[in-house]
Amino acid sequence: MASNVVHLNEGNWDAEVLKSSVPVMVDFSASWCGPCKKLAPVLEKLADELAGKVKLGEVDVEESPAISAKYSVRSMPTVMVFVGGERKALHVGLTSRENLLKLLPGAG
């Protein structure tokens, strides 16, 4: 993913997501997931557009199974938004840029 998209894993999850001072949109995906590959460019563009206001991160469910299990990720792509360390929004499946923006606080 793009340079503005943070690769998330068990080692940096708390610092990058739970303790973030800005909302964090997290994409749970896998390298073999077709819909995930279609969503990736949309997320990359959002990461560039929202840099400094919203953090975008990606979790590879196979590399970080503990995070995926903790948040009950069963299908991909799954996008979650965390604010103040709490999950505030969830979308499962391929979606549009507009729908992703609606997940963010104050949007919609």
Say which of 8, 26, 36, 59 is annotated catalytic: 36
Only one residue has tokens 């923006």, namely: 101
State the virtual CA torsion across 97, 70, 10, 35 in degrees, nearest 10: -30
Annotation says 79 is catalytic: no
The DSSP code for 45 is H
* Token pair of 78 as six digits: 């799954």
Say which of 5, 6, 24, 33 is annotated catalytic: 33
Annotation says 36 is catalytic: yes
**Cβ count within 10 A of residue 31:** 10
Alpha carbon distance 25, 28 (integer Å): 10
Catalytically active residues are 33, 36
